[in-house]
Each structure stands twice: as C-alpha cells, then as structure tokens.
C-alpha cells in the first residue's frame, strides 16, 4: 500500500530492528516431530510451580499491597535484598521487567543517534536490538575462548574510537558460551577508567555453572559499570523480573525514563521474586539441582555431537549456561542455508548469522541443551549430522521424538 494512504508508517527506530528471515523460519519448528535445539528457553520441568503457588497465595492473603501500584525503582525490601547481594546501596538499584528492560533503559539514557556501542561479534540478539532501537551504532569486537578480546578494543581506542558503552556478557556468553577471563576483566575496567566509557555487564547465566571458575564482576573493578541481572534463568522467565545497579550519576535519568515507559515493575512479580529469593534454603537447593541438570544435558549433547560428527564439528564442552557454539568444518558451509533442510529433517538450530553484528558467522550454529529430553538431544545430534554431513534433503518426518518441542518464536 502507498505510504501516503496507509494508516501506519513505522518510525525510523522500528526500521532499525526489523524482524529477520531466520526468526520467521524458526517459528515453524513448533510442530510435531521437530526436535528444537534452537530456543533459548530454560527447562520448564524445573520451574518451582508449587513454591510459586504458595508464594502468590501467601502474598495476596497477607499483603494486598502486592496488588497495588508501587514505586518506579522497585519495592524497598527487594531493592534491599539486591543491594546486599551486590554490596551496594539500595539507592543504586532499579528493579526492571527482566534484564531486557534494563538493557533498553541503559541504551535510552546513554545513547544519542549514531553513538558507538562496542560489543562482541557474534552478539546477544536482545542487546543488539536494544542498542539499535536507541540509535546506537554498533562496533563489532572479536571474541575467543576467554571472551571479548580486550586488546582489540584497546587498539580501536588508540585509533580514536570513543564508545559510549561497551557491552559484555560476563559468564557463558550467548551465543559463544565464553566467560570473560579475570585478566581481561581487569584490563577492560582499566580502559573504562582511562577512556571514560561505561561498561554494561550482563550476567544471566552465572549461577548455571557446572565447572570452572567465575569471572570477577566488573563492578568490583570500576565505578563506570552498570550491572544488569535477571532471575529468568534460575527461577522462570515468565515473571519478567530483573534489575540493574547503576552509578549514582545515572540513577535519576534511569528512574525518569522507566517511569515514562511503564511506571514500575509489576508489584506482584516483585513480591513473588522476593518470596522465593529469601525463602530459607530454597534458592541454594534449587540452583544445585539446576547445575546438575544443565551439566548432564551439556554432556549428553556434546558426546552425541562428537559421536555423530567426528572431527567435522568444532566445539567445546561448556562450563555452564545453556548453549553449545559449534563450527562446521566444511569449506563453504552456510548454516543459514542448511536450516530449512534441517527443519525438514526434524531438527532445528539457530544459525550463526542470527547473531551477526557485522560478520556473518556462516560456518557456525548455536545449539541449546536446555529444554530437550536427553534422548531428543542424542537424536537431534543424529539428525543434524545427517543434514550437515550427508546433504540429507529432508521431507521425511520424525514422529519418534518424545515431547513436542517448546515454542521458539523467541530464540534469544
Ligand atoms: C545474555 C542475555 N542477556 C539478557 C537476556 C534477557 O533475559 P530476561 O529479559 O529474561 O531477563 C538473555 C536471555 O536470553 C540473555 O541471554
């Protein structure tokens, strides 16, 4: 339809984050017989259903205030709990609707159109979207097994780059699975102090560590840090509960913008989160179970991939998180082009190109071990190898997989 007669013309901001063909294709995998290794959804079998029911019941009976409007920054008791955990003052804490909203808020309050934001390429899709929506101009940085290559950032800084923000995922980057090493974390903090940029430290997978050592929080190394956190991966994402810890100088701007955007984070969700987070012994037991589960799942998928692909697929057994980032060792391979054939062959993954900042990552794919039952992980690896290695043309259905896959209209 002609723009002049159309009722709606999207803004320039919307144009910067338009939907991708891959996202639309992956919406198709929610059909019987397709094993999805695509979605970034946590294991629903581990959601604390009865504790949540109890929490809602208790809260509504004891404190009808949880059904009321509340303050923009978050309910005081939850802010205090968060402040204690981060060893900061409650006045630095803002409770958000998931860490995605924290990323959006930090982008809105710091970026003007065209301002540079440096981040790893491949990058976390939600952060790419938030920074682009706010008008940020993305600067791609290389990454390896120790996370973002800070010496490459330093070179760019010496060459004149002046980013407003540098975005890092501390533990188990999505999609690469890499953890920023302690020495790189220190180096990054020094550069922030020297060149005056703000670090956005996102760390949703820290608790889902089944081996190795965590990276030190950047906030312990520099004052120029916004820490972004979520309970989506350890409790459940439907609560949409996250938070940010911000430098004092930023606090008022963030609170003002949040008020304009949604008044405050859902009071009931904050009450439920606080109830679960502070129930004696609950979180430590729950997290221990999750670590055992995700560790087992990672090992099942990786050993099936090794069996099915031999040396044709390069990947590392992750120390935590939910993903395996793998490179197909075949000249000219294009995992995005392989995806429709894989879906026809009964398995879905996210091709590397979905995480593009500037590089296409055509030889790469991201496989999630979070939600599929172990036998589906093994069968998924078999189907994947058939598609990738044998040029399997598909068309055949695989009704053998046990559970219907989770919906993957979102594959963050
Ligand atoms: C690196 C990273 N950051 C942030 C998020 C967003 O999480 P939420 O908005 O549910 O807190 C995700 C979710 O997949 C993620 O992988």
Q: Is the pLDDT of residue 20 over 90?
A: no
Q: Is the pLDDT of residue 348 over 70?
A: yes
Q: Which atom of ligand 1 is nearest to the CA of 169?
A: 1
Give the per-residue pLDDT at 3: 55
Q: Is the pLDDT of residue 409 over 60?
A: no
Indicate the pTM of the whole model.
0.92
Atom 1, ligand 1: residue with shortest CA distance: 174
72 CB near ligand 1 (under 6 Å): no
Q: Which residues contact 307 (CB under 8 A, 6 or more apart)?
A: 381
- pLDDT tens, position by position, 268-325: 999 999 999 999 999 999 999 999 999 999 999 999 999 999 999 999 999 999 999 9
- For ligand 1, pick from 47, 97, 99, 237 the residue to mutate: most ligand atoms within 8 Å of CB: 99
b/e burial code for range 80-101 (CB count within 10 A of at least 16 → b): ebbbeebebebebbbbbbbbbb
- pLDDT tens, position by position, 353-387: 999 999 999 999 999 999 999 999 999 999 999 99
CB count within 10 Å of CB 280 equals 6
Give the per-residue pLDDT at 411: 55
Q: Which atom of ligand 1 is nearest to the CA of 99?
A: 11
Token digits of residue 31: 């059909």
Taking the centre of ligand 1 as the mean of its atom positions, its distance from the CA of residue 370, in whole angstroms, is 14
* Vertex 157: Cα angle to 154 and 158 (nearest 5): 90
User: What is the rounded distance in angstroms from the CA atom of residue 83 to the CA atom of residue 344?
Assistant: 49
Do residues 2 and 9 touch, judged by C-beta distance below 8 A? no
Distance of CA 286 to the CA centre of its chain: 20
Taking the centre of ligand 1 as the mean of its atom positions, its distance from the CA of residue 256, in whole angstroms, is 23
Nearest Cα residue to 299 out of 405, 224, 374:
374
Point out which residues pair with 166 in neighbouring strands: 118, 199
119: helix, strand or coil: strand
- pLDDT average, residue stretch 392-406: 40
237 CB near ligand 1 (under 6 Å): yes
Helix axes 282-309, 374-390, angle to 10 degrees: 30
81 CB near ligand 1 (under 6 Å): no
177 CB near ligand 1 (under 6 Å): no
Nearest Cα residue to 72 out of 254, 259, 267, 252:
259
Helix or strand (DSSP H, E) at 137: strand 137-141
Taking the centre of ligand 1 as the mean of its atom positions, its distance from the CA of residue 396, in whole angstroms, is 34
- For ligand 1, pick from 230, 323, 370, 408 the residue to mutate: most ligand atoms within 8 Å of CB: 230
- For ligand 1, pick from 171, 204, 273 the residue to mutate: most ligand atoms within 8 Å of CB: 204
368 CB near ligand 1 (under 6 Å): no
């Amino acid at each position: 339809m002609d723009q002049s007669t159309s009722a709606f013309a999207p803004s320039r901001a919307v144009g910067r984050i338009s939907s991708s063909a891959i996202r639309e294709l992956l919406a198709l995998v929610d059909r019987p017989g397709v094993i999805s290794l695509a979605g970034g959804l946590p294991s629903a079998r581990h959601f604390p259903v009865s504790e949540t029911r109890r929490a809602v019941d208790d809260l509504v009976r004891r404190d009808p205030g949880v059904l009321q409007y509340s303050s923009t920054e978050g309910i005081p008791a939850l802010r205090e709990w968060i402040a204690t955990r981060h060893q900061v003052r409650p006045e630095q804490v803002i409770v958000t609707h998931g860490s995605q909203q924290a990323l959006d808020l930090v982008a809105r309050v710091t970026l003007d159109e065209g301002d540079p934001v440096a981040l790893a390429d491949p990058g976390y899709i939600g952060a790419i979207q938030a920074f682009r929506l706010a008008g940020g101009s993305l600067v791609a940085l290389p990454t390896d097994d120790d996370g973002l290559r800070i010496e490459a950032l330093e070179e760019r800084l010496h060459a004149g780059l002046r980013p407003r923000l540098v975005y890092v995922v501390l533990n188990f980057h999505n999609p690469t699975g890499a953890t920023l090493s302690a020495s790189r974390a220190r180096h990054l903090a020094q550069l922030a102090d020297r060149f005056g940029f703000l670090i956005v430290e996102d760390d949703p997978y820290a608790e889902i560590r089944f081996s190795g050592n965590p990276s030190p929080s950047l906030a312990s190394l520099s004052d120029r840090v916004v820490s972004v956190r979520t309970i989506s991966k350890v409790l459940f994402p439907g609560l949409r509960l996250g938070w940010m810890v911000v430098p004092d100088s930023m606090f008022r701007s963030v609170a003002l913008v949040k008020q304009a955007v949604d008044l405050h984070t859902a009071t009931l969700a904050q009450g439920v989160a606080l109830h679960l987070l502070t129930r004696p012994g609950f979180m430590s037991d729950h997290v221990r179970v999750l670590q055992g589960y995700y560790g087992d799942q990672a090992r099942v998928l990786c050993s099936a991939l090794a069996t099915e692909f031999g040396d044709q697929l390069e990947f590392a057994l992750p120390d935590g998180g939910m993903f395996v980032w793998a490179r197909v060792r075949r000249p000219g391979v294009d995992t995005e082009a392989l995806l429709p054939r894989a879906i026809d062959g009964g398995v879905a993954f996210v091709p590397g190109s979905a995480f593009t900042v500037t590089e296409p990552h055509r030889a790469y794919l991201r496989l999630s071990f979070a939600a599929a039952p172990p036998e589906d992980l093994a069968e998924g690896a078999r189907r994947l190898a058939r598609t990738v290695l044998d040029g399997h043309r598909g068309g055949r259905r695989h009704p053998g997989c046990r559970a219907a896959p989770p919906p993957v209209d979102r594959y963050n």
